[in-house]
Amino acid sequence: MKDLDELKRLLAEATPGPWEARRGDYTLGCVTNAADAPIFSYTRPEDAALIAAAVNALPGLIGHLETAVEQIREYQETCDTDGAVEWLNNWYGREEW
């Protein structure tokens, strides 16, 4: 899964977390890491909160997705006798999970 591999690579190369959103001067926000080093500054506080939350959630989301993909593959190998997986692939426009 090329997209998932790319996300994992980007996460591994990024500044280690956890990341935290902080309100800076005036109405600006910034994102910092655990050592309080700025990662991204001069953004709306709401955007900083989203960036930090997304980066912190990404490892868990990747893990859940990998588990789901593995379960789908196991189902394909053992239980798909009536073409349900093929139907799902066609419905979602996917060739591979």
Per-residue pLDDT tens over the stretch 29-41: 778 877 777 887 7
pLDDT at 59: 94
- Whether residue 40 contacts residue 47, with contact meaning beta carbons closer than 8 Å, is answered with no
Per-residue pLDDT at 97 exceeds 60: no
